Amino acid sequence: MTAPFAAVDVIIAKRDGRELTAAQIDWVIAAYTRQQVAEEQMSALLMAILLNGMSSAEIAHWTSAMLNSGIRLDLSGLGRPTVDKHSTGGVGDKISLPLAPLVAACGAAVPQLSGRGLGHTGGTLDKMESILGWRATLTPAEMTAQLASVGAVICAASADLAPADRKLYALRDVTGTVESIPMIAASIMSKKIAEGTSSLVLDVKVGSGAFMKRADHAAELARTMVELGAREGVRTSALLTDMSTPLGVAVGNAIEVAESVEVLAGGGPADVVGLTLVLAREMVALAGLDVDPAAVLASGRAMDSWRAMVAAQGGDPDAALPTPRFREFVVADRAGVVSRLDALAVGIASWRLGAGRARREHAVQQAAGILCLAKPGDSVSVGQPLFELHTDTPERFPLALADLADALHIAAQGTVIERPPLVLDVIRGG
């Protein structure tokens, strides 16, 4: 049977700035998923899209084609409203860990399908795997049963959900096309819509430690994704949040789990608690629930949900978390006020220590990472620890220390430091 299109003609159309038709997009996504479009041809098309962009209609068609490449879960029988959160990735961004059980304790079902880290941004699954016995892979039936019984799940996406995105994501990573806003939006939304949630809150990071360094680019991505959600009947809103400074104190895997448990226990860093509550309020509002997440957190019910969620996936919530074999400290060489702490530099240093991976098949060190012991606005004295570095392989220290050499700036005592607000903007559907 003759194919209705030739891949080269689709490439040329986008190379020349023309709008692709729905039929062209449906065909190219289906044919690529079936390995009937060569990797080099799809690479060329992705580069043409990066350079020439896509219209709103093209992005919507592309997202639908990826969504239709696999199954779409039906969570309508759970008996509670469904709502999820997706972050575009940052440094120290462990918010999903306290957020999912908190929103579950508020009365919603939270199907938190998560991924692994690559490069300087951490992965939720890598963090959760620090917990003894915890497993990331669940069948759709297991996931649905856990949502019904516990109200929250953090797990890997099934291979049946948007399989076209799985192939395209890997290809974008090696062809210099990761930054394409249409492709980022379609990738995120095809997976989130496929998981069956009725509502979705997007945490779009902005700053040095984020993929989106500029606020205008982040806002464009947020608006695109909110529009895609509305087209597919998913109530969607987006918060633009600051990622110029790492979130919290802990950057790594096991140490971020420990910090998340602190939040659930009523403590934890103010910025982590604050962002968790802001996102929780947005999620319960979209889910149509009249409840105060701060009161639920203070009651201890979110901790109960966390323990039940971990145990349901084979984890031991009481087990000790991994600790590093080696530690190194960076201390202040002068007194003053911390004026800047660069999220990207800290993320790269943590990756160097073994907390992240350079390739998807690489393993991570669960105990590796960095504690940021001074944040912007803090006063420091000579010799005061600024960073605590953790690793099981001490030969990693020199490169990590080099990354941190210019990560933290100290201004004169008395300098007033104005940090950007945690939430920069909120974008909601009409």
Buried b (16+ CB within 10 A) or exposed e, 41-78: bbbbbbbbbbeeebeeebbbbbbbbbbbbbbebebeeb
CATH of span 83-319: 3.40.1030.10
Compute the average pLDDT of residues 46-59.
96
Q: What is the pLDDT of residue 345?
A: 97
Q: What percent of the chain has pLDDT over 90?
A: 86
Compute the average pLDDT of residues 180-202.
94
Tell how strand 199-206 and strand 235-242 pair up. parallel
Domain segments of the chain as ranges: 7-53, 83-319, 326-411
What is the C-alpha to C-alpha distance for residues 80 and 291, in angstroms, rounded to an integer? 14
- Write down the catalytic residue from 187, 190, 244, 350: 187
What is the C-alpha to C-alpha distance for residues 120 and 101, in angstroms, rounded to an integer? 26
- 64 catalytic, yes or no? no
The mean of the pLDDT values for the chain is: 94
Is the pLDDT at 118 greater than 70, yes or no? no
Compute the average pLDDT of residues 228-234.
94
- Write down the catalytic residue from 165, 242, 342, 403: 165
pLDDT band at 430 (very low <50, low <70, confident <90, very high): low
Residues near 62 by beta carbon (within 8 Å), at least 6 away in sequence: 25, 29, 54, 182, 186
C-alpha distances out from residue 239 to 37, 46, 133, 188, 225, Å: 37, 27, 34, 15, 11
Tell how strand 379-380 and strand 336-341 pair up. antiparallel
Is the pLDDT at 174 greater than 60, yes or no? yes
Q: What is the pLDDT of residue 119?
A: 65
What is the C-alpha to C-alpha distance for residues 159 and 169, in angstroms, rounded to an integer? 13
3-state SS assignment for residue 314: coil
CATH number belonging to the domain at 326-411, selected among 3.90.1170.30, 3.30.43.10, 3.90.420.10, 3.40.50.2300? 3.90.1170.30
Global confidence as pTM: 0.94
Q: How many CA atoms lie within 13 Å of 179's alpha carbon, on the beta-carbon side?
A: 9
What is the DSSP secondary-structure string of 119-179?
A: TTB--HHHHHTTSTT------HHHHHHHHHHTSEEEEEPPTTSSHHHHHHHHHHHHTT-TT
Sheet-wide strand order for 235-242:
83-87, 199-206, 235-242, 423-428
3-state SS assignment for residue 275: helix
Q: What is the pLDDT of residue 5?
A: 86
What is the C-alpha to C-alpha distance for residues 374 and 372, in angstroms, rounded to an integer? 6
Q: What is the pLDDT of residue 360?
A: 64
Q: What is the pLDDT of residue 357?
A: 76
What is the C-alpha to C-alpha distance for residues 195 and 109, in angstroms, rounded to an integer? 12
- 409 catalytic, yes or no? no
Compute the average pLDDT of residues 131-139.
95
- 76 catalytic, yes or no? no
Is the pLDDT at 1 greater than 60, yes or no? no
Q: What percent of the chain has pLDDT over 70?
A: 98
Per-residue pLDDT of 373-399, as tens digits, reads: 999 999 999 999 999 999 999 999 999
- Write down the catalytic residue from 14, 61, 85, 172: 172
Q: What is the DSSP letter of 355?
A: S
Q: What is the DSSP letter of 423?
A: E
Is the pLDDT at 160 greater than 90, yes or no? no
Q: What is the pLDDT of residue 27?
A: 96
pLDDT band at 157 (very low <50, low <70, confident <90, very high): confident
Q: What is the pLDDT of residue 301?
A: 98
Using alpha carbons, select from 367, 333, 340, 342 the residue that is nearest to residue 353: 367
Is the pLDDT at 33 greater than 80, yes or no? yes
Compute the average pLDDT of residues 182-190.
94
- 403 catalytic, yes or no? no
Per-residue pLDDT of 64-105, as tens digits, reads: 999 999 999 999 899 999 999 999 989 999 999 999 999 999
Domain 7-53 identical in fold to domain 83-319: no
- Write down the catalytic residue from 166, 191, 231, 390: 191
- 375 catalytic, yes or no? no
Residues near 231 by beta carbon (within 8 Å), at least 6 away in sequence: 60
pLDDT band at 4 (very low <50, low <70, confident <90, very high): confident
Is the pLDDT at 273 greater than 70, yes or no? yes
Compute the average pLDDT of residues 9-37.
96
- Write down the catalytic residue from 85, 86, 127, 231: 86
The residue with tokens 């050499």 is 405
181 close to 220: Cβ distance less than 8 angstroms = yes
**Per CATH, which fold does 7-53 belong to?**
1.20.970
